Amino acid sequence: MEPPLYEVWLLNNRTDAVTELCLMIFPTRSSLDKRMGRSIVHESFNKRKVCPKMVPKLFTPEQKRSRMNILNNIDPDPRLLVTVITYDESWFFTYDPETKRGSG
């Protein structure tokens, strides 16, 4: 089953989709309509903007093959993930309202 045309269009125009959509719908307006365009994309197509840091980098086919080879060669130990240690790094800054100065 093929995806709907709007889905194909959004996938092919990821970076400029909202801008192009706004220009199609509102050719004479500018900044206010970008918000409206995002709202249309979100509500009508159930798509949302994500932070670029959360989106994986686009790899070349050679890079993809290399990563797949590495993953296939990892020891299939079922306890592998148990040995991984993760932590949340948080930064706390103090603020003195008397001096209006902060320190890190």
Could you report the per-residue pLDDT of 41-76, keeping only the tens digit for each? Answer: 777 766 666 665 655 667 788 887 887 887 777 767
* pTM exceeds 0.75 for this model: no
Q: How many C-beta atoms surround the C-beta of residue 34 within 10 A?
A: 15
Domain ranges of the chain: 1-74
Of 42, 52, 51, which is closest to residue 21 (Cα–Cα)? 42
48: number of CA atoms within 13 Å, CB side? 4
Model pLDDT, residue 31: 59
Structure confidence by residue, pLDDT tens digits, 9-20: 777 776 666 677
Torsion sign across C-alpha atoms 53, 55, 56, 59? negative
> How far apart are the C-alpha atoms of 80 and 92, rounded to whole Å?
33
pLDDT at 65: 84
Structure confidence by residue, pLDDT tens digits, 21-45 = 667 766 676 555 667 767 777 777 6
Enumerate long-range contacts of 32-41, CB under 8 Å, 24 or more apart.
41/10, 41/17
